[in-house]
Amino acid sequence: MIRIEEAHSKRDMKSFVRFPFTLYKDSPYWVPPIIREELASFDPKVNPVFRQAEARFFLAYSGSEVVGRVAAIINRTEVEQQGLKKMRFGWFDFKDDPEISRALLDKVAEIGNDNGLEYMEGPMGFSNLDKVGVLTEGFDHIGTMVTWYNYPYYATHLENLGFTREKEYLESKFPAANADPRLFTRIEATIRQRYGLRALNFTKTSEIMPWADKMFDLFNASYARLSSFVPISEEQKAYFKKKYIGFINPEYIKFVVDEDDRIIAFAIVMPSFSKALQKARGKLFPFGFRHLLHARKHNKDAIFYLIGIEPEFQNKGITSIIFNEYYKVFQEKGVTMCYRTPELAENKAIQQMWKHFSPVVYKRRCTYRKQLG
């Protein structure tokens, strides 16, 4: 018999974070988080997302063994300001047993009903900068630090429980050679001149920080039209700056500004930390930090984490400016392959940005929805 218990104590939360380490111990594709960082992201005293969202964490037990986990999340901005009566669920992992998945999702549904919500959707995190989606294609590819990996049976369980596919996300890749500036140098020069644009490049993190808030404002503007979007708050801006900006190679952050120094486009790329995180096994010390530093400096794979373009400049070739700058860095670093993190299939504007680089979709993932009540 499966027993569901809420995680309250530090010990419980460590069990919540550590469960996938057991579930995926034999998988060459799963990428573990840093345990300390994962725990901090679940702490309301640390993560400002809890000023607009609330979450409860549950573990499934068979006897004394943990066999599953799930987070039940309510984003109050989404529910109260946007009118979406949605119960989110995330960090959803379980052994291949229908009783386990049913018991976990029944608990999420119970919370949704108690709060007068109309439907549940997941897996997804607290906000748009969290991981999202059940992997439905591409199980034989290594994950990234910003995506969830799962076994193929996850989607089957959800569908057998009456969930239907809600939103699809695509992940694609292309050789860095496809961004050869000879393919778009003339376009890039013309666009710079026509709109009075210039690229900003950085060599130090301190140079980026004065621009970071404006970057997040542009992120909000770029994605506001998407059906699933929840804006980043001022508190979250400060949190993400502290947590991520200093960790990313400064030369991998690019801005495009106009004559008034207004940011009209940005892109954030990271070297792939997947293999380094596998070697770290959830810990920075004693050797995990060394693996991450090595990956930061020596990596042939680049992950496009975020890209945003002012709506009025979309479909005007701005990516030619961005890629002209990235190509120089990729040549210097020896990058050979570029990967894109999950993008909504409905986001045609972002797909148009990449079309000239002949990307190949190699992973698909979905969120699943079910009515409550």
**What backbone torsions phi and psi does residue 29 show, to the nearest 5 degrees?**
-110, -20
| Predicted confidence (pLDDT) per residue in 184-220, tens digit | 777 888 899 999 999 999 999 999 999 999 999 998 8
Cβ-contact 226, 347 below 8 angstroms = yes
Residue closest to 166 by CA, chosen among 217, 103, 124, 112: 124
| Predicted confidence (pLDDT) per residue in 57-73, tens digit | 999 999 999 999 999 99
Q: Identify the band that residue 145 occupies on the pLDDT scale cut at 50, 70 and 90.
A: very high
Chosen CATH of 2-170 out of 3.40.630.30, 3.30.470.10, 3.30.360.10, 3.30.1490.20? 3.40.630.30
The H-assigned helical ranges of the chain are 10-23, 35-41, 76, 98-114, 153-160, 185-195, 205-223, 234-240, 274-280, 288-297, 318-333, 348-354
Cβ-contact 198, 260 below 8 angstroms = no
Cβ-contact 176, 338 below 8 angstroms = yes
Cβ-contact 4, 58 below 8 angstroms = yes
Beta carbons within 8 Å of 167's beta carbon, 6+ residues apart = 133, 227, 228, 344, 345, 346, 366, 367
Cβ-contact 277, 33 below 8 angstroms = yes
| Predicted confidence (pLDDT) per residue in 38-59, tens digit | 999 999 999 999 999 999 999 9
Q: Identify the band that residue 357 occupies on the pLDDT scale cut at 50, 70 and 90.
A: confident
pLDDT confidence of residue 55: 98
Q: Which CATH architecture describes the domain 174-368?
A: 3-Layer(aba) Sandwich (3.40)
Task: Give 254's Cβ-side CA count (13 Å radius).
Answer: 26
Q: Identify the band that residue 243 occupies on the pLDDT scale cut at 50, 70 and 90.
A: confident
pLDDT confidence of residue 188: 83
Average pLDDT over residues 150-169: 98
- Cα–Cα distance between 201 and 328 in angstroms, integer? 11
pLDDT confidence of residue 45: 94
First-residue to last-residue Cα distance in the chain = 25
**3-state DSSP call for residue 62?**
strand
pLDDT confidence of residue 90: 98
The distance between the two most distant Cα atoms of the chain, rounded to a whole number of Å, is 69
Instruction: Specify the domain boundaries for CATH 3.40.630.30 within the chain.
Output: 2-170, 174-368
Average pLDDT over residues 347-355: 78
- Cα–Cα distance between 340 and 321 in angstroms, integer? 18
| Predicted confidence (pLDDT) per residue in 98-120, tens digit | 999 999 999 999 999 999 999 99
pLDDT confidence of residue 356: 76
DSSP result, 178-238: GG-GGGTHHHHHHHHHHHT-EEE--SSHHHHHHHHHHHHHHHHHHHTTSTT--PPPHHHHH
Cβ-contact 169, 364 below 8 angstroms = yes
**Residue length of the chain:** 373
Report whether pLDDT(256) > 90. Answer: yes
| Predicted confidence (pLDDT) per residue in 269-300, tens digit | 999 999 999 999 999 988 998 999 999 989 99
- Cα–Cα distance between 11 and 7 in angstroms, integer? 8
pLDDT confidence of residue 228: 65
Q: Which H or E run contains 73?
A: strand 65-75
pTM for the whole structure: 0.92
Q: Which residues pair with 263 in a beta bridge?
A: 257
